[in-house]
Amino acid sequence: MQKNGQNEERKSRLLACAEQNRAGRGRLLPLRLAAAAVLAAALLALFGCSAKETEVSETFFVMDTVASLRLIGDKEQAESLLKQAAALAQELETRWSRTLPDSSIYRLNDGETVVLDEETAALLAQAAALSVETGGAFTPTVSPLVELWNIGEADSPPSREEIAALLPLPSPDFLAQARAGQPFSLPEGCRLDLGGVAKGEAANRICALLRESSLRGALLVLGGQVSCVGTRADGEPWRIALRDPDGQQGETLAELRLTDLHIATSGDYERYLEFEGVRYCHILDPETGWPPETDLRSVTVVSSDGARADGLSTALFVMGLEPSLAFWREAGDFEAVFVTSDRRVIATEGLADCLSFSNGAGGYRFEFTS
Ligand code: ADP
Ligand code: MG
């Protein structure tokens, strides 16, 4: 009862926060400044955009977070796509949620054999590949630990003994065998949690749907995941502000100007437990079973693949700064912004043309790295 109460409370808090964002005062949302809105309207008039082109938007709760979608284009088409996109997000949640009893993941975790649909098979295979690539920093078989910690509901951390009893976690390598249309089941004692990639893959699928249309552009926010398609109404790139982990709602550290990319942020400031003066965040180090002892407060990953951005932001947060930079140099197919515990904001050089630091903000030092 009490837990449901807490969930409801969190949900309404998040929705209120999203409303605030939409009104232009919140975190991580572009086009927040009234001045920018006025400028956009002026440019629109200047370039004589089609009178039929309009912006439609909606905020809804899905995948345990607040989602918002803004679409720019023909009104009728945009309104119809808004409904389709929201329905698709709900649909994917009913397949990938760890907690919804009819979802494929719930049933697999419950010991059932499940015939995999194409999207779920692809996501499982990608999760397995990410785990190998990140040396296990990303581990989708982390579910027993996530359940034990129960961040967001629990009042205190679990005991060392309880944590140790769940280690080592089963290897997720078997997920590479997941095939669409084939029956699949989990090895004994293994349970999945796709919370680190599901929103990113949902963003991939929703953006694919939107790209098929003739919309001018779209901006999708799914919790810590932002995806942009095309451009804003004025033909300019979307603007995405990166939040100061220590700041009040509106304080930002940098602004990205992007088209057709996914941006995922993982940090220690959204979901955590504070106990006896120590903060325990919702991302866990699969090796130790504890939140990582990391020198990072947040990691933002920019990639053309939403699931990759999502999974990597989680993994790099576990790895810490130097291993993450080495990983970035090796991988060469994504960019990142790191906020460190010693108040540095480090962006990879591929972002040089599309990122502006909020110099002077919060006593941070800002730098690009190569
Ligand atoms: P969020 O989903 O809150 O935006 P992340 O994308 O970083 O944040 O994902 C965190 C979620 O991923 C956790 O809530 C948990 O379900 C799962 N998770 C936690 N630690 C790991 C890990 N090391 N590897 C894979 N998944 C993890
Ligand atoms: Mg993630």
| Residue 318 alpha carbon, nearest atom of ligand 1 | 23
Domain membership flag for residue 130:
no
Range of the domain at 275: 2-94+197-369
Domain membership flag for residue 113:
no
Ligand 2 center to 180 CA (angstroms) = 24
Determine the Cα–Cα distance for residues 178 and 203; give it in Å rounded to an integer. 21
What CATH number did the domain enclosing 254 receive? 3.10.520.10
Determine the Cα–Cα distance for residues 295 and 34; give it in Å rounded to an integer. 36
Identify the CA nearest to 316 among candidates 292, 332, 333. Answer: 292
Q: What is the mean pLDDT of each run of 10 residues along the chain (370 residues)?
A: 48 47 32 32 42 90 96 97 98 96 97 97 97 98 97 96 97 96 96 97 98 97 96 97 87 96 95 94 98 96 98 98 98 97 97 94 94
pTM, two decimals, is 0.88
Q: What pLDDT, on the 0 to 100 scale, is given for residue 349?
A: 98
Peptide bond between residue 144 and the one before it cis (omega within 30 degrees of 0): no
Domain membership flag for residue 85:
yes
Domain membership flag for residue 257:
yes
Domain membership flag for residue 102:
no
Looking at all shown ligands, the one closest to residue 269's CA atom is 1
Domain membership flag for residue 230:
yes
Q: Is the CB of 28 under 6 A from ligand 1?
A: no
Q: Give the residues across from 53 on adjacent strands.
A: 74
Domain membership flag for residue 350:
yes
Q: What pLDDT, on the 0 to 100 scale, is given for residue 39?
A: 37
Q: What pLDDT, on the 0 to 100 scale, is given for residue 31?
A: 27
Q: Which residue has the tokens 């999502």?
A: 310
Determine the Cα–Cα distance for residues 364 and 344; give it in Å rounded to an integer. 5
Ligand 2 center to 241 CA (angstroms) = 18
Domain membership flag for residue 218:
yes
Q: What pLDDT, on the 0 to 100 scale, is given for residue 359?
A: 87
Q: Is the CB of 265 under 6 A from ligand 1?
A: no
| Residue 225 alpha carbon, nearest atom of ligand 1 | 4
Q: Is the CB of 283 under 6 A from ligand 1?
A: yes
Number of domains in the chain: 1
